[in-house]
Amino acid sequence: MYLDRLGKYNENWKLKKREGILIVVSGPSGVGKGTIVSELIKMAPELLVKSVSVTTRKPRSIESEGNDYFFKSIEDFSELIEKDMLLEYACIFDGKLYGTPRKYVAEQVANGKDVILEIDVQGALQVKRKWKNGIYIFILPPTFQELERRLRDRKTEDEEAIHNRLAVANRELENISEYDYVIVNDQISDSVEYIKSIIIAEHCSIKRSFKEG
């Protein structure tokens, strides 16, 4: 392998064991994040896994522990917060707590799996403060008119909710400089290929391939 030969020319640099990468995907509600993430995982399920969240809500009949969520009591969740075992957490609209467990992400990454986390901007910024070595990707709509059309086509919210989501989207754009990459999601297939290319390039980077000493 070329990298093996390259390492022999400079004994101060050694090849690293392959580790996974935490890939954080954010963007406005309705931009297509969920679809993009689902398509990415279908492409390489043996190498790419979706982050499993911790929640205080009760499991639904079709959900299972460790696959859909890690279900915890409020007391257990509070302990995770106190021990700094969550990369981020928030109280969602249903009044329940949700968070990203540091241990699950660390174990998957150590085993060579890439972990993809689909999350809002507020959560992504929390994660970035605790996990510096991730890839942070912001998904944009082609236009805000298109974003509004997509929100309306879902037919799940009234006018007030749609306007609120568009207002939130405008505020989220103020944080775009915190991300490493930005992708305009015009076509899902193109966006999936762009992120796939980003992941491949990151795995080939010097900082992830070599270590000193």
What is the tens place of the pLDDT at every residue in 197-212?
999 999 999 888 877 6
Which helix (H) or strand (E) element contains residue 107?
helix 102-110
Compute how many other C-beta atoms are within 10 angstroms of the C-beta atom of residue 64. 10
Contacts of 136 (CB under 8 A, 6+ apart): 24, 26, 124, 128, 178, 179, 180, 181
pLDDT score at 2: 47
pLDDT digits (tens, 9 = 90+) for 48-102: 999 999 999 988 888 888 888 999 999 999 999 999 999 999 987 677 899 999 9
Give the pair of three-digit tokens for residue 207. 């900082």
What are the two backbone dihedrals, phi and then psi, of residue 183, each rounded to the nearest 5 degrees? -130, 130
pTM for the model: 0.86
CB 36 within 8 A of CB 140: no
Domain covering 2-51+111-212 in this structure, CATH number: 3.40.50.300
